[in-house]
Amino acid sequence: MIKDLPLSAPVTEYHTVGIGAGPANLSLAALFESSTNQEIALFDRQPGPAWHNRLLHSGVRMQTSWLKDLVSLVDPRHELTFLNYLVTESRLFALLNSQFDVIPRLEYVRYLAWASGRLRNVRYGVDVDKISFGEGGFTVYSDGRAMARSHNLVIGMGSRPVIPAGLSGLPPERAFIADELAERLDEMSAHKDAPVAVVGGGQTGLEATMKLLGRGFTNIKWFGRRLWFDTIDDSPAANDVYRPAHVEALQRLSPVTRRQVIERLNPTGDALTPGAMRTLYQANYDGLLELDRFPVTLFPARDVTSAEFDGEHAVLSCSTPEKPEEHRAKFVVIATGRENVQVPFDDDLRERVETTFDGELMVDSDFSVRWKGMNGHKIFALNRARMALGLTDANLTLLPVRAAIVLNSMFEREIFQVRDELCAINWG
């Protein structure tokens, strides 16, 4: 693992360059290195291995099985399996005997760091600010200087928090994104009985609420837009959505029908972890026994449309199915979702790349991006085609399967078998 690149380093030629070194591209690099004699390099702006590190609160769990690691679903004998990580790091028995239903998120992040340290060309501290295309292939730039050139390109960039317009412009010391909560807690702790609003009914909102409750805050208001704080459907039939057979079935649908199906399947993945929700309810009941009131109040079906500070408190304006409401809070934690980071194509390359009606990259079933003038050079995009490729493109469930599909397409031969024939569901 190369943590930084000297300013004097020459432009290095690679077969493939990946932008981002998160789980998706780490999975690709792991399978690439074990199955080819070519070179792949990953560039990431983070100073070191990271995956939502600012949200690694104590007690936070993964939403996927540890078997769904970087490689096991297509190559269980690979040296970078999660099981090999546990054995190599002498953690196997301690983890097994702790009887986790799903592993701690911090453990998964440590696994990613372990895996990245065993790959040849993972370069951290490189903020890629331009990607161009010419006769030699793709050229990647950072701070105006060419860093690498490659035949193929894989986009595996992360996302960033979204702050709704109605919540922007608030005093940053009193209203901030959930990613900043951990570093704000000490200064907030002098006001543990003051009302704190958590805006956003997703997993990040749940984790922020749990963190506040665990630090002794006694007047937490959690707002969500949906009619209730729904948890993930983790039934066997729901899990059949997260396998190659269903992804293949989605590709047989028209784009309009496919989008409708994917949106209706949201409860199978875009929801709250049941175990975490149970933990919150139990901790909230413990608080009731101590305080004679619940320290956390849940407010479903509230869309926080705007907020402004009135003296010591923010006044949150909420729309509801019946009538508008106002709620006051000394602090506001914003957990209202994330959006894709824009790919830094230069103007020429950006004009060649095809996009959807909503401005996203046009991605085919092999995760290749449609663009003009490729002449044998391919661009692949991971985590950016949810409405084209299904819910699995937006989470960790099929990381190695996606990487295998990309590699098969990239090298135009079946390097890895991707088959899922023993399925009890006929998707049509």
Model pLDDT for residues 138-185, shown as the tens digit of each residue: 999 999 999 999 999 999 998 889 999 999 989 999 999 999 999 999
Please check the confidence at residue 110 and state whether its pLDDT lies above 90: yes
Cα dihedral 277→264→224→321 (10° resolution): -130
Res 9: pLDDT: 60
Domains of the chain with CATH codes? 12-158+341-411 (3.50.50.60), 162-231+271-338 (3.50.50.60)
Model confidence pLDDT, tens digit, residues 283-315: 999 999 999 999 999 999 999 999 999 888 999
Of 49-53, 227-231, 283-287, 308-312, which one has max mean pLDDT? 283-287
Assess contact for 126 and 45: CB atoms under 8 A: yes
Instruction: pLDDT band for 54, please (50, 70, 90 cuts).
Output: low
pLDDT band for 7, please (50, 70, 90 cuts): very low
Q: How buried is residue 422: exposed, middle or buried, by Cβ count under 10 Å (0-12/13-18/19+)?
A: exposed
The rounded mean pLDDT for the chain is 92
| 79/395: higher pLDDT | 79
Where are the extended beta strands (E) located within 256-406?
A: 296-299, 303-310, 313-319, 325-329, 331-334, 338-340, 379-381
Round to whole Å and give the CA distance between 4 and 20: 14
Better-predicted residue by pLDDT, 419 or 374: 419
Task: Please report which residue ranges of 14-169 form alpha helices under DSSP H.
Answer: 23-35, 82-88, 92-98, 105-116
Strands 325-329 and 220-223: unpaired
Would you say the pTM of this structure is higher than 0.85? yes
Which residue, among 141, 133, 19, has the nearest Cα to 372 in the 3D structure?
133
109: Cβ–Cβ under 8 A, 6 or more apart, which residues? 49, 50, 51, 52, 53, 56
Quick one: pLDDT at residue 334? 97
pLDDT value, residue 57 = 65
**Position of tokens 């951290």?**
124
**Using CA atoms, how far apart are residues 219 and 397, in angstroms rounded to an integer?**
36
What is the DSSP secondary-structure string of 67-93?
Answer: TSSSSTTT-TTSTT-HHHHHHHTT-HH
Question: 3-state class of 99 per DSSP?
Answer: coil
Least confident of 127-141, 256-270, 332-346: 256-270
Instruction: Find tokens 């953690």 and name the residue.
Output: 91
- pLDDT (tens digit per residue) in 354-378: 998 888 899 999 999 999 988 899 9
Query: Residue 5 — very low, low, confident or very high, per pLDDT cuts 50/70/90?
Result: very low
Whether residue 269 is predicted with pLDDT greater than 90 in this model: the reply is: no
